[in-house]
Amino acid sequence: MAALAGKRCLITGASGGLGEELARKFGGFGCRLILTGRTEKKLRAVAERLESSARVENCVAADFRVKADLEGLIESVVTTIGGLDVLINNAGVFPVGSLNTLSPAELDGCLEVNLRSAILLCRAFAPAMAEAGWGRIVNIASSSAYAGFANTAAYCASKHGLLGFSRALDDELRGRGVRVIAVSPGSIKTPMGRKVRGQTYETFMDPREVADVIGDVASLDGSIVISEVRLGRAVMG
């Protein structure tokens, strides 16, 4: 865990259930946090709840469907803490509907939030990590990165893309001290999880347990590298 102490860490989607638990976990490691999400009020509430256990450097509201917001976030990170050592791409949307009922805006928004933002944030911060010889990039994919389900075509496509991107970037950066970790959990007890159809919400994973696993994998700093993690539910239903 000492490997993460004092590291500069950006968590996207930080106002949601898993995002807050990731902030709690990495803040507990001693990371200097920047939290981002679409709503500043929710981000500030998370920061207040973490006040005694985490060092939150800044909260930046950003909608990743808006180019200027993403650019503003990158500029804010550089201005506030000079760059990143840890990047956690957790932001995500989950449009539900058959392909012909989703609007072009919904399709574009899903790809922009779930995939394009992660690619552009990696592009912005990974080179400096590689130059420094140390970095962690955690991309939160999904069990939908390995399968396809009716009425979630856009979401599945975005998560398949994120997994493929993670594999390629890990291969590109592995020899330069930067580890890219793709974590693919199944359904989680979050507001987004309540949109899942045909499954029993009570059987979903606890977001704190998911964050614990992610933190433990990201903190490895020896000869063992875990670049891909799939998390399933103990009880299916």
Q: CA separation (Å) from 191 to 17, 18, 43, 145, 236?
A: 7, 10, 16, 20, 19
- Identify the sign of the CA torsion 113, 1, 217, 195: negative
Structure tokens at 2: 């000492």
- Identify the sign of the CA torsion 17, 63, 40, 81: positive
Catalytic residue among 155, 181, 186, 215: 155
* 155 assigned to active site: yes
Distance CA 34, CA 73 (A): 10
Distance CA 70, CA 164 (A): 22
Distance CA 215, CA 18 (A): 12
For residues 106 and 154, the answer to whether their CB atoms sit within 8 Å is yes
Burial class (CB in 10 A: 0-12, 13-18, 19+), 120: middle
Consecutive H or E run containing 8:
strand 8-11
Q: What three-state secondary structure class fits 41? A: helix
- Identify the sign of the CA torsion 20, 22, 56, 64: negative
Structure tokens at 55: 């060092």
What's phi and psi for 48, nearest 5 deg? -65, -40
Residues serving a catalytic function are 155
